[in-house]
Amino acid sequence: MSGPDLDTRIETYYVRVRGVVQGVGFRHHMVRKAHALGVRGWVANLDDGSVEAVVQGAANQVDLMLEWLRRGLPLARVTDFHSEERHIEKRYERFEQH
């Protein structure tokens, strides 16, 4: 029995990251990482100091992006990470910073 091909099945996740994630280049680095992995979607700062994002792509690509988000970058300090799969029809063309 074979499952869906993890390189072709498209997944979409909503993500919220809290901690020291604003003012440290988090969104910029996330865009660069997303482009390197080939995922699409967007990232934005929220007024409460957290960052939210939508990550869309092949299951393997999304898994790698979510793992990066859990750790953040060296200047950031992620204290809370939440992700949930969203079933949406929209397909993003690129990854953007808002």
Q: Which residues are catalytic?
A: 27, 45
- Between helix 26-37 and helix 59-71 the angle, nearest 10°, is 160
Q: What is the Rg, in whole angstroms, of the alpha carbon atoms belonging to the chain?
A: 13
